[in-house]
Structure 1
Amino acid sequence: MKIYLSPSTAGRYGGSLNRSLRNFDRFIQSQLDNLGFKSSFDELWLTLSYPPMYVLPGVIGIEIEHKKYYITFPYSRLNRRYKKIDITLKAPEFSEHFDKAEQTIYQHQFDIESQYKNIQEAELAQILVDKFLEAGEIINSKLKKNDVFDYDLFRRILLNIKHSINPYFLESISSKQSIQEENNRVKRAIELREKRKNSNLPKDKLLKDLRIYYVDLPKKALYPYDYQYTEIFLNLLIKKNFKCPQYNHLYVQVAKTLNDALMNSINIEDWYVYGLATIDFDNYLKQTEKEKENIVVQTIIDGLRDIAIIDDLDISIMNKIFSEVRLKGLDTELEYRTLENTYYKLKITYYSRSMEEQCPIYFNLTEKATNKTKRVQVGKADNSQINLWLQKINLTNKLIKVKSSDSIRAGVYLDDKPKEMVFEIAELLK
């Protein structure tokens, strides 16, 4: 029987235990599994409902609604069709454990009863065991003839755990469970990669997005180069109509070790996939800015190549793009859109830059009769703004008319950029 433990309070649900209790429920699970506990139910969902010490903005007053339900607990349901047990218990002892650290961040705060304050983690662990025992009693009282739930063994195992609890015991099992969890995540990630290798799915999804994530590195550790070059690689791959199987989002997971990258590469949806790359971050910090730039480029290449090898993507397209980016770097000119009519061809291009510098955007206007081309910078924008700002473009025989998106998102993100622009072709070609 798989155990799922979740906290619940006003407007918030889910999460895990903290600090030395973080893996305590997994330890209980392992003891039940190893010591032969049997049940005809596959899942036990145990919810700890506690009074909130704060509520999130936008849901003020929800604590009143929560209290109406809270006073009705315990709740229990044994679903024999789906072999699932749901139990919700009052757990006021856990308010500080889940809420105290973040309480001061929020405006709407609440106090709790003094008897539930300053509970030490060893005592809290014993209380958690008591919650499991309470759940066991409820289940035992509702069993029917054909149900299997070895309550006596369940109770003995939990009491043995309770008698063993002390601070050292908690730290020890937390450490062991963390190692086991890491090993399981690495194993799972490797299994998923092997499954991808053997899937042979048709490559029929056009690429939409490319991002880079890192594990155990400082915020913006690889900025601005990761930001600049993911835009470059994404633009070039899209222009080549690069196709993927099932997914259309590529995520490069960067870490100091392969195991760290693997542990953070387990996707729960099929519309994105991870490629892995490692970095010697201590060495990275010692490099010149140009050397850092080159390291980030190679890191992204490593992640993309990892995806291509596993999923048998068109590596020839990638290799050509890799060579172009290595040669041109941040001078790689990116195409946003091309329009033409009988007389003119307009190619809109830009260069990827940092959020602070923003991308310079150019109109490259060609008169077809004379093959005369003029290039004019029309402004700057962050790469996330370009499509919103230059969303509607109309090329006539005399004018280029540009309108931005009229969406709420555009209103927020475009700041003070003009919502409409009109350019006279005769002036541009002078």
Structure 2
Amino acid sequence: MRFSLEFKDYKMKNVKNINLRLLNTFLNEYTIDTYCSDIFKMIIIKFLNNFPSKRTEKQRTLYSDFVLVEIKSDFKNKQEINILEFQEAFNKIIKAVKKINIENKDFNLNLLMESLKVAEKNIPNSNQELEEYNKNKELVDCKNLLRLADYNIKMYKQQKREFNRPLKGIRIYSDLEDENVNLQPYIFMYENIFTNLLKRENIMLPGYNEIYIYIDKTLNDAKVNAFGYGADWSKMTYGEIDIDKYISSTESEKSEIVFSSIYQGLRMIADFDHLNSDSIERAINTVKVEGFDIDLVYIEKENKNYEVKVVYNVPRVVNQKALFKLCIKDKNSKKEGCVNIDYFDLWYVPYSISQIKIRKTEILIEGRKSLRAEISRKHDNLPDKYLFVIDKILL
């Protein structure tokens, strides 16, 4: 169970308190990987300093899986380490946790209290001990985040859930640029390629729409530094990269190194979240064989006479527009042909290509019919439809 401590001073309008910051780390050191509930994820404790007399303390559930508990306080040493206020806050939290009333929630208070009792036995007992703890805070925070990531993976693996949402996208993140390691354009290219391939595999996900992959020097670094990138509509997985090897590699070798870290993350989430590993392996193998030159199918349609596809290649420059092509196959004569449609920003393609209409002698491609689509097309000087004569393509 994760704790998050907040502070508000009604007189000074202060939202920071060094003792609560240390207590937040201390509490999570003993509780962050304690299993208390399948649903309930975090307890938010909000200390209200110089509390208005007319206002009452509240407890409420936030976003269905957090509980917020308000506690009156009268802290004096907001910016100075003070063992008495640290311990006072700890004791107030123990009392508040015992009073938590969570209706219709699977919440094991006894398990949480056992962890808090262990914390109580190890609580700092002097300003000197608390100052020493403050020196190690950053290291303890990192260990807490690593334990939280490993705990979440363990719980996902144990609790298989309904696959109720289609994949919308793959997002790849890294902060290695801070160490002068640039993973572009490979992140941009693989992000778009795997999004296309896995959406076409009709991958279904349990309760989220996007897979986030965070890449760092080691898996442990990735698990720690990815904290804060997650969102309710996504789930995080991890990849690692040898940055010394990457820096000294050729462009083609760099591409392979980034690719290996991405499929490492995809295989990891397939394992712990019970995803369709066959579909993920097909996508990985397709990229292994075809590389960046793969023709991705954006949209397709067929009737008794023709197979029609709109295809494109991901650009090798970040955010460069991609050339989209219309490809037709005559089922009877077996003739095939392709023609260029236009260049599009990959984010805004649906505004120009949303449906294909196969007519007797023509192919009509239309964009979305919305004000936002019209504004986007006007900005990029693009038409709202494209019309092609079939015989001119099947030469």
Whether these two folds match at TM > 0.5 is: yes
Question: How far apart, CA to CA, are the structure 1 residues paired with 2:192 and 2:155?
Answer: 29
Cross-structure match for 2:392: 427
Whether 1:221 and 2:186 are equivalent positions in the alignment is no
* Match among 114, 121, 143 for residue 183 of structure 1: 143
Cross-structure match for 1:321: 283
Letter in 1 for 2:169: D
Q: Deviation per CA, 1:326-364, whole angstroms, max 9, x where unpaired?
A: 121111111111123344331111111233432221100
Task: Report 1:86-235 matches (<5 A).
Answer: 86=70, 124-125=79-80, 164=127, 172-203=132-163, 205-218=165-178, 221-235=182-196
Whether 1:364 and 2:330 are equivalent positions in the alignment is no
Question: How far apart, CA to CA, are the structure 2 residues paired with 1:174 and 1:84?
Answer: 26
Asked whether the 8 Å contact 1:393–1:403 carries over to 2, the reply is yes
Asked whether the 8 Å contact 2:352–2:368 carries over to 1, the reply is yes
Query: Residue 136 of structure 2: SS of its match in structure 1?
Result: helix
Question: How far apart, CA to CA, are the structure 2 residues paired with 1:80 and 1:391?
Answer: 47
Asked whether the 8 Å contact 1:212–1:254 carries over to 2, the reply is yes
Cα pair distance change 1:246/1:175, threshold 3 Å: same
Query: Residue 252 of structure 1: SS of its match in structure 2?
Result: strand
Asked whether the 8 Å contact 1:399–1:422 carries over to 2, the reply is no
Cross-structure match for 2:343: 380
Q: Deviation per CA, 1:360-391, whole angstroms, max 9, x where unpaired?
A: 21100223342221111111222212222212
- TM-fit CA distance, 1:428: 3.2
Cα pair distance change 1:394/1:43, threshold 3 Å: closer
Question: How far apart, CA to CA, are the structure 2 residues paired with 1:311 and 1:81?
Answer: 30
Task: Report 1:273-284 matches (<5 A).
Answer: 273-284=235-246
Structure 1 residues 309-318 or 181-190, which shifts more?
A: 309-318
- TM-fit CA distance, 1:419: 3.0
Cα pair distance change 1:328/1:174, threshold 3 Å: same
Cross-structure match for 1:140: none
Cross-structure match for 1:397: 360
Cross-structure match for 1:336: 298
Question: How far apart, CA to CA, are the structure 1 residues paired with 2:162 and 2:4?
Answer: 38
Question: How far apart, CA to CA, are the structure 2 residues paired with 1:413 and 1:48?
Answer: 50
Between Structure 1 and Structure 2, whose CA radius of gyration is higher?
Answer: 1
Cross-structure match for 1:115: none
- TM-fit CA distance, 1:187: 1.4
Question: How far apart, CA to CA, are the structure 2 residues paired with 1:27 and 1:300?
Answer: 32
Asked whether the 8 Å contact 2:19–2:78 carries over to 1, the reply is no
Cα pair distance change 1:327/1:337, threshold 3 Å: same
Q: Give aligned pairs, total.
A: 341
Question: How far apart, CA to CA, are the structure 1 residues paired with 2:187 and 2:88?
Answer: 51
Asked whether the 8 Å contact 1:73–1:89 carries over to 2, the reply is no
Asked whether the 8 Å contact 2:81–2:130 carries over to 1, the reply is no
Percent identity of equivalent pairs: 22
Asked whether the 8 Å contact 2:327–2:336 carries over to 1, the reply is yes
Q: Deviation per CA, 1:272-330, whole angstroms, max 9, x where unpaired?
A: 32222111223212211111111111111111011122233332332232222112111
Relative to the length of structure 1, the TM-score reads 0.64
Task: Report 1:224-263 matches (<5 A).
Answer: 224-263=185-224
Asked whether the 8 Å contact 1:334–1:349 carries over to 2, the reply is yes
Whether 1:78 and 2:57 are equivalent positions in the alignment is yes
Gapped runs of 5+ residues in structure 1? 34-41, 50-71, 94-121, 138-160
Gapped runs of 5+ residues in structure 2? 32-42, 62-66, 93-123
Question: How far apart, CA to CA, are the structure 2 residues paired with 1:282 and 1:251?
Answer: 24
Letter in 1 for 2:79: L
- TM-fit CA distance, 1:25: 5.0
Question: How far apart, CA to CA, are the structure 1 residues paired with 2:373 and 2:8?
Answer: 37
Letter in 1 for 2:47: L
Asked whether the 8 Å contact 1:78–1:86 carries over to 2, the reply is yes
Letter in 1 for 2:6: L
Query: Residue 276 of structure 1: SS of its match in structure 2?
Result: strand
Question: How far apart, CA to CA, are the structure 2 residues paired with 1:43 and 1:318?
Answer: 37
Cross-structure match for 1:311: 273
